[in-house]
Structure 1
């Protein structure tokens, strides 16, 4: 049970530091609703769910790294900047994967709906 306690404390810390996570959750919810509306098949769901979780996990790791860098130094340091910048790049790449996946899955369905 302690492990769950720590995980929930992590959620609290995440929301205190990173408001982007809430935005990712809102988008994930919207995409999930769209998935039900368009009756995605199992393979499409697997790609959508993987994209959602990759973005969320990457954002969590990014925030963890930011906490760690801030713990090590409060002063500006170029290496600290590089650590934060490359971590942010990981989130950007994960989000890009999610957008591309969403386009591949949903665009044909949207085109069919409107034609």
Structure 2
């Protein structure tokens, strides 16, 4: 059982490495996350603010990975540009953008 868990973590880490290597937006979001965490540490946030901040950062990063995975699936299923394929990709990008806006708003409220 432990071997299976270790194997699962290995595959998950490979996914994180893949998205870091291939997605510029993910690398930018990681950089922003590190800067925000450093600023939060400097400011000495309260525990609840840390929880909220880390939760929002995790949500942004997880949705970026989800976005990348579905975009790859769409590319595989519709290699030629199809209007639905473009719409799916636009919807996914919109999802990540909205979460980023709200994450920024939450960060702004926390740091005020």
Q: Same fold (TM over 0.5)?
A: yes
Report the alpha carbon displacement of residue 98 of structure 1 after superposing the two structures with TM: 1.0
2:10 pairs with 1:5 = yes
Aligned to 2:31, the other structure's residue is in SS state helix
Match of 1:102 in 2: 107
Match of 2:69 in 1: 64
Match of 2:35 in 1: 30
Q: 2:54 aligns with which of 49, 52, 56?
A: 49
Count the aligned residue pairs. 107
State the alpha-carbon separation in 2 of the partners of residues 13 and 31 from structure 1: 23
Q: Is the 8 A contact 1:14 1:21 kept in 2?
A: yes
Q: TM-score, normalised by structure 2?
A: 0.90
Match of 1:91 in 2: 96
State the alpha-carbon separation in 1 of the partners of residues 48 and 21 from structure 2: 35
**Alignment gaps of 5+ in structure 2:** 1-5
Q: Is the 8 A contact 1:21 1:59 kept in 2?
A: yes
State the alpha-carbon separation in 2 of the partners of residues 16 and 71 from structure 1: 19
Q: TM-score, normalised by structure 1?
A: 0.88
Q: Is the 8 A contact 1:17 1:63 kept in 2?
A: no
State the alpha-carbon separation in 2 of the partners of residues 12 and 72 from structure 1: 24
Q: Deviations over 1:30-49 (max 9, x none)?
A: 01011111110011112211
State the alpha-carbon separation in 2 of the partners of residues 54 and 99 from structure 1: 12
**Alignment gaps of 5+ in structure 1:** 109-115
- RMSD of the alignment, in Å? 1.0
Q: Deviations over 1:44-68 (max 9, x none)?
A: 1122111101100110000001110
